Amino acid sequence: MVAAPKLVEIEGPAFERGLSYGRQADVQLRHGLAVYQDLFRQHELGWDSVLGYSARLREALAVQVPDAVEELRGIAEGAGVKLEEVLVINGRSEIINLHAQAPKDTASLDDGCTAAVVLPGLSENGRLLHVQNWDWLPECAESTVVLKIRSDRHPDILTYVEAGGLARAGFNDQGVAITGNNLVSAQDGTRPYGIPLSVIRRRVLEAGGYSQALTELYRLPRTVSNNMTISCARSGDCLNFETTPDEIYWQAPDGACLTHSNHFVTPQARIRERDRGIARGADTLFRDRRLRQLIEKDGHRHDLDSLSRALDDRFGSPRGIIRTPEGNEGETNAYLSATVAMILMDAGAGEMRVRQLPYTSDETVRYQLH
């Protein structure tokens, strides 16, 4: 059994926020670093070399988002680790794709995910609901926290994240929520020094309301492909963005539900992009459609409990909507073998629920933004 993610509350200017964050989450952050050191070692990537790239990422980020670097600097000081090590946690995907010694097969170094947004017409309480299963290294369950950020300059934010990271899945007090799913395209790694995904998600949540969040997503340069779903509880709307380093392909809901997994589905992207993610896990081709079928079945109106049951679907085990380690042994992407967490968000009510390692436990913990 894994303990529920620790709630970490921070406020103030960027460096002070980070300092408090690092001090409160030092144990989880150090655990995460040990996981990544071991992972890179197994792929014969030297830690000093990884940190060398991380330093170059820091230099580029300082020019583009200086506040983020100040917060990361505070995290490092608070946890007693190097700034470059905190940047490994935030820039993992970027480092994997740009590292000079990167392995030929990075399949075991990228995360998965299955996400859904249920619009108000299909929810029991008439509020938009935004949920996700996050698939990655099961050891990272012990590295996660729920971060509550209070700010005079930006909206307040609640986000589930690996300790030391700036954001993963979360929402702000304007009702804007975001989740991210891994995508892989031929463009990955061809545009160095973009903004790390963790920082992009944080900037989207800091931007303000729905229109500001969407504009911020388009403004920030990217190094790797990623799918990001942005919803707004106040307007009852959501949009999905399949992003590459060069392009953004947007998708509106078709009906009262939107789902996504780990392959390109927009017509333009399917024509223009070389989708390298399907070969790493072809189960992505049914996970998004099956989740939508479960949600839309019998016209049922949903709450977070019923969406939790949909996300707990075991069809295709061990590589379904819920992913389990058992049965994945020996596969080329065996590290992509577990659903680390189920994250359930009702941003209109300021509520997040987290179920760690859901294939082993049905314990769900609630967190409130206010």
pLDDT for 100:
47
Range of the domain at 17: 8-98
Asked whether residue 180 carries a pLDDT value surpassing 70, the answer given is yes
Note whether 247 and 292 are same-domain residues.
Answer: yes
- DSSP E strand stretches across the chain: 6-11, 114-118, 129-136, 144-150, 157-162, 169-172, 176-182, 226-232, 237-243, 248-251, 257-260, 338-346, 351-356, 365-368
Return d(Cα 238, Cα 347) in angstroms, integer.
Answer: 12
Q: Encode burial over 158-195: b for 16+ CB neighbours within 10 A, e otherwise.
A: bbbbbbbbbbbbbbbbbbbbbbbbbbbbebbbebeebb
Q: How far is CA 251 from CA 108, 254, 258, 272, 325, in A?
A: 28, 9, 9, 16, 32
CA 87 to chain centroid: 16
pLDDT for 333:
47
Bridge partners of residue 323, in order along the sequence: 319
Q: How far is CA 357 from CA 131, 199, 340, in A?
A: 15, 25, 5
Give the phi and the psi of residue 63 in degrees, each rounded to 5: -80, -40
AA identity, residue 124: E
Note whether 57 and 157 are same-domain residues.
Answer: no
Note whether 326 and 224 are same-domain residues.
Answer: yes
pLDDT for 332:
46
Each residue of 122-166: pLDDT tens digit?
Answer: 999 999 999 999 999 999 999 999 999 999 999 999 999 999 999
Using DSSP's 3-state secondary structure scheme, residue 141 falls into helix
Query: What is the total count of domains within the chain?
Result: 2
Each residue of 248-300: pLDDT tens digit?
Answer: 999 999 999 999 999 999 999 999 999 999 988 899 999 999 999 999 997 88
Residue 106: pLDDT band (50, 70, 90) is: low
pLDDT for 326:
77
Of the listed ranges 99-113, 232-246, 272-286, 292-306, the least confidently predicted one is 99-113
Asked whether residue 45 carries a pLDDT value surpassing 90, the answer given is no
Which residues does 151 contact at the CB level (< 8 Å), separation at least 6?
A: 11, 17, 157, 206
Residue 168: pLDDT band (50, 70, 90) is: very high
Which residue, among 277, 278, 275, 282, has the nearest Cα to 319 in the 3D structure? 282
Q: Quick check: is 166 in a domain? A: yes
pLDDT for 201:
98
Note whether 194 and 47 are same-domain residues.
Answer: no
Note whether 125 and 228 are same-domain residues.
Answer: yes
Asked whether residue 43 carries a pLDDT value surpassing 90, the answer given is no
- Domain finish residue from 76, 98, 120: 98
Residue 103: pLDDT band (50, 70, 90) is: very low
Q: Quick check: is 143 in a domain? A: yes
pLDDT for 228:
98
In eight-state DSSP terms, residue 329 is T
Note whether 72 and 141 are same-domain residues.
Answer: no
Of all residues in the chain, the percent with pLDDT exceeding 70 is 94
- 3-state per-residue secondary structure call for 24-82: HCHHHHHHHHHHHHHHHHHCCCCHHHHHHHHHHHHHHHHHHCHHHHHHHHHHHHHHCCC
pLDDT for 105:
54
- Write down the residue that tokens 């939508």 correspond to: 292
Note whether 31 and 143 are same-domain residues.
Answer: no
Q: Quick check: is 3 in a domain? A: no
Residue 325: pLDDT band (50, 70, 90) is: confident
CATH code of the domain in which 145 resides: 3.60.60.10
Each residue of 220-232: pLDDT tens digit?
Answer: 999 999 999 999 9
Return d(Cα 105, Cα 196) in angstroms, integer.
Answer: 21
- Domain finish residue from 68, 98, 128: 98
Q: Quick check: is 263 in a domain? A: yes
Q: How far is CA 244 from CA 82, 217, 225, in A?
A: 30, 12, 4
CATH code of the domain in which 57 resides: 1.10.10
In eight-state DSSP terms, residue 360 is T
Instruction: Please give the full DSSP string across 161-186, using - where no structure is assigned.
Output: EETT-S-SEEEETTSEEEEEEE--BT
Q: Quick check: is 104 in a domain? A: no
Decide: 365 and 308 in contact? Cβ < 8 Å.
no
- Domain finish residue from 46, 71, 98: 98
pLDDT for 334:
44
pLDDT for 212:
98
Return d(Cα 159, Cα 178) in angstroms, integer.
Answer: 9
Note whether 313 and 184 are same-domain residues.
Answer: yes
- As a whole number, the mean pLDDT across the chain is 93
pLDDT for 182:
95
Return d(Cα 362, Cα 200) in angstroms, integer.
Answer: 31
Note whether 42 and 170 are same-domain residues.
Answer: no
Note whether 82 and 140 are same-domain residues.
Answer: no
Note whether 326 and 239 are same-domain residues.
Answer: yes
Note whether 135 and 207 are same-domain residues.
Answer: yes
Give the phi and the psi of residue 132 in degrees, each rounded to 5: -165, 145
Query: What is the bridge-based pairing of β-strands 6-11 and 144-150?
Result: parallel
pTM: predicted TM-score of the whole model, two decimal places: 0.95
